[in-house]
Chain A
Amino acid sequence: MTSYQIPRNSLAWMLLAQVAVSAPHIVRLPIWITLVCVACGLWRIMVYQGRWNYPSRWVKVALAIFGFAGIPLGYDKLTGVEPAIALLIVAFFLKLLEMHHKQDAYVVILLGYFVAITEFLFFQSIPYTIYMFFSVLLITTALIGLHQTKTHIQPMRTFRTAAILLGQALPLMIVLFVLFPRISPLWTVPLQSSMGRTGVTDSMSPGDIASLAQSDELAFRVTFDGQVPRNRQLYWRGLVLSEFDGKTWTTSNGLVQRGVWRSNQDQPPWVDAIEMRGEEFSYNIVLEATQQNWLFALTMPEVPQNNKLVVLAHYNIASRIPIRNTLRYQLTSHLGSVLSRELNDYWKGQYTKIPLYSNPRTQVLAKKMLTEASSSREYIDDVLRMYNQQEFIYTLKPPLLGRNSIDEFIIDSKKGFCEHYASSFVFMMRAAGIPARVVVGYQGGEYNPRGNYFSVRQFDAHAWTEVWLKDQGWVRFDPTSAVAPERIERGLEAAVEDENTFLFDSPLSIFRYRQLLWLTDLRLQLDAIGHYWDAWVVGYTPETQMSLLSKYLGDMDKQKIYFLMLGVFFAILGTIGVFILSKRSSAVLRPAEIEYLKFCRILEKKGYRRHHGEGPNDFAARVSLSLPSLRDEINSVTKAYIEAVYVNEVEADLLSLKKAVRVVRFKSLASVD
Chain B
Amino acid sequence: MQDVIQKTITQIGTVVLGKEHQIKLALTCLISGGHLLIEDLPGMGKTTLSQTLAKVLGLSFNRIQFTSDLLPADILGISVFEKETSRFTFHPGPIFNQLILADEINRATPKSQSALLEAMEERQVTIEGETRKLPSPFFVIATQNPNSQAGTFPLPESQLDRFLMRIQLGYPDPASERILMKGVDRRILLKKLDSIVDLSTLNELQSEGRRVKVSDSLLDYVQRLVAYTRGAPEFAYGLSPRGALALLSCAKTWAFIDGRTHVVPEDVQAILPGVVEHRLRETADIQGHGGSALAQRLLSQVDIIG
A614 and B304 in contact, given A642-B264, A646-B263 (Cβ under 8 angstroms): yes
Separation of A354 and B235 alpha carbons in the complex (Å): 89
Most B CB within 10 A of own CB, among A612, A642, A645: A645
Q: Is the CB of A646 within 8 A of B284?
A: no
Chain A residues with Cβ below 8 Å from B262 are 642, 646-647
Q: Does A611 contact B (CB under 8 A)?
A: yes
Separation of A612 and B298 alpha carbons in the complex (Å): 10
Chain A residues with Cβ below 8 Å from B265 are 615-616
User: What is the CB-to-nearest-CB distance from B295 to chain A, in angstroms, rounded to a whole number?
Assistant: 12
A615 and B300 in contact, given A151-B284, A590-B217, A646-B218 (Cβ under 8 angstroms): no
A593 and B264 in contact, given A151-B284, A613-B299, A616-B304 (Cβ under 8 angstroms): no
Q: Is the CB of B283 within 8 A of A151?
A: yes
Q: Does A589 contact B (CB under 8 A)?
A: yes
**Using a CB-CB cutoff of 8 Å, which residues 210-232 of chain B contact chain A?**
213, 215-218, 220
Chain A residues with Cβ below 8 Å from B266 are 615-618
Find B220's partner among A151, A587, A611, A649 (CB 8 Å cutoff). A587
Most B CB within 10 A of own CB, among A589, A597, A613: A613
Find B217's partner among A597, A611, A613, A645 (CB 8 Å cutoff). A645
Separation of A630 and B302 alpha carbons in the complex (Å): 27
Find B306's partner among A149, A585, A596 (CB 8 Å cutoff). A585
Q: Does B301 contact A (CB under 8 A)?
A: yes
Chain B residues with Cβ below 8 Å from A593 are 217, 305
**Using a CB-CB cutoff of 8 Å, which residues 580-613 of chain A contact chain B?**
585, 587, 589-590, 593, 596-597, 611-613
Separation of A646 and B215 alpha carbons in the complex (Å): 5
1/0 contact trace for B266-306 toward A, CB 8 Å?
10010000000000000110100000000000011111111
User: What is the CB-to-nearest-CB distance from B272 to chain A, in angstroms, rounded to a whole number?
Assistant: 10
Separation of A165 and B265 alpha carbons in the complex (Å): 37
Chain B residues with Cβ below 8 Å from A587 are 220, 306
Find A596's partner among B264, B284, B305 (CB 8 Å cutoff). B305
Q: Is the CB of A616 within 8 A of B264?
A: yes
User: What is the CB-to-nearest-CB distance from A621 to chain B, in angstroms, rounded to a whole number?
Assistant: 10
User: What is the CB-to-nearest-CB distance from A599 to chain B, in angstroms, rounded to a whole number?
Assistant: 11
Chain B residues with Cβ below 8 Å from A615 are 264-266, 269, 304
Q: Is the CB of A646 within 8 A of B217?
A: yes
Chain A residues with Cβ below 8 Å from B213 are 646-647
Separation of A617 and B264 alpha carbons in the complex (Å): 9
A149 and B264 in contact, given A585-B306, A613-B300, A615-B304 (Cβ under 8 angstroms): no
User: What is the CB-to-nearest-CB distance from B110 to chain A, in angstroms, rounded to a whole number?
Assistant: 26
Most A CB within 10 A of own CB, among B217, B286, B300: B217
Chain A residues with Cβ below 8 Å from B304 are 613-616
Chain B residues with Cβ below 8 Å from A618 are 266, 269
Separation of A224 and B301 alpha carbons in the complex (Å): 66
Find A612's partner among B220, B283, B303 (CB 8 Å cutoff). B303
Separation of A230 and B261 alpha carbons in the complex (Å): 95
Separation of A263 and B218 alpha carbons in the complex (Å): 78
User: What is the CB-to-nearest-CB distance from B257 to chain A, in angstroms, rounded to a whole number?
Assistant: 15
A647 and B215 in contact, given A587-B306, A614-B304 (Cβ under 8 angstroms): yes
Chain A residues with Cβ below 8 Å from B264 are 615-617, 642, 646
Separation of A590 and B265 alpha carbons in the complex (Å): 16
1/0 contact trace for B96-118 toward A, CB 8 Å?
00000000000000000000000
User: What is the CB-to-nearest-CB distance from B135 to chain A, in angstroms, rounded to a whole number?
Assistant: 37
Chain A residues with Cβ below 8 Å from B306 are 585, 587
Separation of A596 and B306 alpha carbons in the complex (Å): 12
Chain A residues with Cβ below 8 Å from B261 are 647
In the complex formed, the residue of A with least CB distance to B215 is: A646
In the complex formed, the residue of B with least CB distance to A614 is: B304
Separation of A616 and B215 alpha carbons in the complex (Å): 15
In the complex formed, the residue of B with least CB distance to A645 is: B217
Chain B residues with Cβ below 8 Å from A647 are 213, 215, 261-262
Chain A residues with Cβ below 8 Å from B218 are 645-646
Q: Is the CB of B305 within 8 A of A612?
A: no
Separation of A596 and B269 alpha carbons in the complex (Å): 19
Chain A residues with Cβ below 8 Å from B286 are 151
**Using a CB-CB cutoff of 8 Å, which residues 630-673 of chain A contact chain B?**
642, 645-647, 649
Separation of A645 and B213 alpha carbons in the complex (Å): 11
Chain B residues with Cβ below 8 Å from A596 are 305
Separation of A130 and B75 alpha carbons in the complex (Å): 68
User: What is the CB-to-nearest-CB distance from B214 to chain A, in angstroms, rounded to a whole number?
Assistant: 8
Separation of A364 and B213 alpha carbons in the complex (Å): 120
Separation of A584 and B264 alpha carbons in the complex (Å): 23
User: What is the CB-to-nearest-CB distance from B14 to chain A, in angstroms, rounded to a whole number?
Assistant: 28
User: What is the CB-to-nearest-CB distance from B213 to chain A, in angstroms, rounded to a whole number?
Assistant: 7
Q: Is the CB of B301 within 8 A of A612?
A: yes
Separation of A613 and B217 alpha carbons in the complex (Å): 14
In the complex formed, the residue of A with least CB distance to B214 is: A646
Separation of A585 and B262 alpha carbons in the complex (Å): 25
Chain B residues with Cβ below 8 Å from A149 are 283-284
User: What is the CB-to-nearest-CB distance from A158 to chain B, in angstroms, rounded to a whole number?
Assistant: 13
Chain A residues with Cβ below 8 Å from B303 are 612-613
In the complex formed, the residue of B with least CB distance to A600 is: B305
Q: Is the CB of A645 within 8 A of B215?
A: yes
Chain B residues with Cβ below 8 Å from A642 are 262, 264
User: What is the CB-to-nearest-CB distance from A639 to chain B, in angstroms, rounded to a whole number?
Assistant: 11
Separation of A614 and B300 alpha carbons in the complex (Å): 8
Chain B residues with Cβ below 8 Å from A597 are 305
Separation of A627 and B265 alpha carbons in the complex (Å): 23
User: What is the CB-to-nearest-CB distance from B228 to chain A, in angstroms, rounded to a whole number?
Assistant: 10
Separation of A642 and B262 alpha carbons in the complex (Å): 9
Separation of A20 and B263 alpha carbons in the complex (Å): 59
Chain B residues with Cβ below 8 Å from A649 are 215-217
Separation of A255 and B187 alpha carbons in the complex (Å): 121
Chain A residues with Cβ below 8 Å from B300 are 611-613
Chain B residues with Cβ below 8 Å from A614 are 304
User: What is the CB-to-nearest-CB distance from B230 to chain A, in angstroms, rounded to a whole number?
Assistant: 15
User: What is the CB-to-nearest-CB distance from A105 to chain B, in angstroms, rounded to a whole number?
Assistant: 20
Q: Is the CB of B302 within 8 A of A613?
A: yes
User: What is the CB-to-nearest-CB distance from B128 to chain A, in angstroms, rounded to a whole number?
Assistant: 46
Separation of A149 and B303 alpha carbons in the complex (Å): 27
Separation of A133 and B201 alpha carbons in the complex (Å): 71
Separation of A585 and B261 alpha carbons in the complex (Å): 29
1/0 contact trace for A505-544 toward B, CB 8 Å?
0000000000000000000000000000000000000000
Most B CB within 10 A of own CB, among A589, A593, A615: A615
User: What is the CB-to-nearest-CB distance from B137 to chain A, in angstroms, rounded to a whole number?
Assistant: 29
Separation of A642 and B217 alpha carbons in the complex (Å): 10
Chain A residues with Cβ below 8 Å from B284 are 149, 151
Most A CB within 10 A of own CB, among B216, B218, B265, B301: B265
Separation of A371 and B300 alpha carbons in the complex (Å): 109
Separation of A614 and B301 alpha carbons in the complex (Å): 10
User: What is the CB-to-nearest-CB distance from B211 to chain A, in angstroms, rounded to a whole number?
Assistant: 14
Chain B residues with Cβ below 8 Å from A151 are 283-284, 286
Separation of A336 and B303 alpha carbons in the complex (Å): 83
Separation of A485 and B216 alpha carbons in the complex (Å): 90
Separation of A374 and B265 alpha carbons in the complex (Å): 116
Separation of A615 and B217 alpha carbons in the complex (Å): 13
User: What is the CB-to-nearest-CB distance from B112 to chain A, in angstroms, rounded to a whole number?
Assistant: 33
Q: Is the CB of B263 within 8 A of A589?
A: no
Chain A residues with Cβ below 8 Å from B216 are 649
User: What is the CB-to-nearest-CB distance from A278 to chain B, in angstroms, rounded to a whole number?
Assistant: 74
Separation of A149 and B285 alpha carbons in the complex (Å): 11
In the complex formed, the residue of B with least CB distance to A642 is: B264
Chain A residues with Cβ below 8 Å from B302 are 612-613
Chain B residues with Cβ below 8 Å from A646 are 213, 215, 217-218, 262-264
Q: List 6 A-B contacts (CB under 8 A).
A: A149-B283, A613-B301, A613-B304, A616-B265, A647-B213, A647-B262
> Given A151-B286, A613-B304, list of 16 further CB < 8 A pairs?
A149-B283, A151-B284, A587-B306, A589-B305, A596-B305, A597-B305, A612-B300, A612-B303, A613-B299, A613-B302, A614-B304, A616-B264, A616-B266, A618-B269, A646-B263, A646-B264
**What are the nearest 3 A-B pairs in CB distance?**
A615-B265, A615-B266, A645-B217
